[in-house]
Amino acid sequence: MKFMIKKEHIAMIVLLMIAVLSCMGPKKVAYDFPSTMNESVQKEYLRQCEKGAVLYEISCSGCHTKKSMLSKKIPDFTADQIYGYEIRRSNKNHENALTAETVTTEELGYILNFLMYKKRSGLLHKGTHVEN
Ligand code: HEC
C-alpha cells in the first residue's frame, strides 16, 4: 500500500508549526510598578518602558541578555547600577559602545526606566561597581 500524504495531514502540520512558532516569538515583558502609582501615570510609564524594551534589545542585549536555546533572560540590575549619564562611562565596553551617537540621552532614559520596572528575571547582574 502506498503511503499517502493527505491534505488534512498538511493542515495539521502547518497548525502545529504555527503553534510552536507562536510560543517562541517575542514575549511581552511584564512590569512591576509600585502599587502607589496611579493608573494614568502607570500608562505613561508603560509606554516608556515598552520603548525602552525595544531600545534595550537593540543597544544592550548583545552583551547583557543571557540566551540559551530555550530561554532568554534579561539580568536584574540594582537601582544603584541604574543611574544616569555615568552608565556611559562605567566600563571600557560602555565607553566604546554607548556614545551619544549610538544611544541618545532620551533613548538611554527609556532603557533605564525599562530596566528599573521590568519584572525580575532572577538573574542578578553582578558587576564590579561597588555600592556603598
Ligand atoms: C559591548 C558590550 C556592552 C554593551 C553594548 C552594553 N554593556 Fe552594560 N556592561 C558591559 C560590561 C562588560 C559590564 C561590566 C560588568 C561589570 O559591571 O563589571 C557592564 C555593566 C553594566 C551595568 C552595571 C554597571 C555598574 O555600575 O555596575 C549596567 C547597569 C549596564 N551595563 C547597563 C547597560 C545598558 C543599559 C546598555 C545599553 C544601553 C548596556 N549596558 C550595553 C558590557 C556592555
pLDDT at residue 47, as a whole number = 97
Q: What residue ranges in 46-122 does DSSP mark as E strands?
A: 66-67, 72-73
Find the mean pLDDT for residues 69-74. 91
Is the Cβ–Cβ distance between 55 and 111 less than 8 Å? Answer: yes
Is the Cβ–Cβ distance between 15 and 103 less than 8 Å? Answer: no
pLDDT at residue 130, as a whole number = 42
Residue with CA closest to ligand 1 atom 39 = 60
Q: For 104-132, what is each residue's pLDDT tens digit?
A: 999 999 999 999 999 999 999 886 544 43
Q: How far is the CA of 90 from the centre of ligand 1 (A)?
A: 8
109 touches ligand 1 (CB under 6 Å): no
Q: For 7-53, what is each residue's pLDDT tens digit?
A: 888 999 999 988 887 776 666 669 999 999 999 999 999 999 999 99
- Closest ligand 1 atom to the C-alpha of 62? 5
pTM for this entry: 0.81
Q: Which of 54, 58, 63, 77 to mutate to test the pocket of ligand 1 (most atoms within 8 A of CB)?
A: 63
Q: Work out the burial of residue 65: count CB atoms within 10 Å of its CB; fewer than 13 is exposed, 13-18 middle, 19 or more buried.
A: middle
Q: How far is the CA of 29 from the centre of ligand 1 (A)?
A: 20
pLDDT at residue 51, as a whole number = 98
